[in-house]
Structure 1
């Protein structure tokens, strides 16, 4: 019996935004560090706009979010036993993503 392959959509960070005010998910315990990852992402060609940021902690499930809800997600890496499900939901809810490892 073969397992169905998960659908994974990869897009470069240089892909154009679909919204004037992109929706961003920041997930993790140290939000100021996560905000720094947004520095310089992406240039808006002089057009005004603001990020619509939603914060979640490490314990909140990503399953609660709709498909393609966010333009970008910046999250801390999950525990290895949770990685498969976490990444599956992350690629479903965010058009682009960045997983960072917390440094203690």
Structure 2
């Protein structure tokens, strides 16, 4: 049985957005499913703006990304052997995040 509900919320979704066009990282093999997590994500003060979305493969390392590069990251859960390093990098590069089951 596959569960696509978020397993971990790294920070509250009510935190203010720092950019007019939030930068979002989507990591995983099924991009349409990842995009659905953005439905209802708050816009800044109701003003129009575009999401700046970057997709990565679920095998790609997060180590190359700069600190606080993304306002939100939605990624598929890594294997248990990679989880510690993956979560460390995820909390470093994204202000908010969701880890979902693949």
Shared fold (TM-score, shorter chain, > 0.5) = yes
Q: How many residues align?
A: 93
1:69 aligns with 2:65: no
Q: Using CA pairs below 8 Å that are at least 6 residues apart, which structure has the higher relative contact order? A: 2
Q: Any gaps of 5 or more consecutive residues in structure 2?
A: 1-9
Distance in 1 between residues matched to 2:65 and 2:78, nearest whole Å: 17
Aligned equivalent of 2:42: 42
- Higher-Rg structure is 1
CA RMSD of aligned residues (A): 1.0
Q: Any gaps of 5 or more consecutive residues in structure 1?
A: 1-9
Aligned equivalent of 1:22: 22
| CA deviation after TM superposition for structure 1 residue 48, in Å | 1.1
Aligned equivalent of 1:52: 52
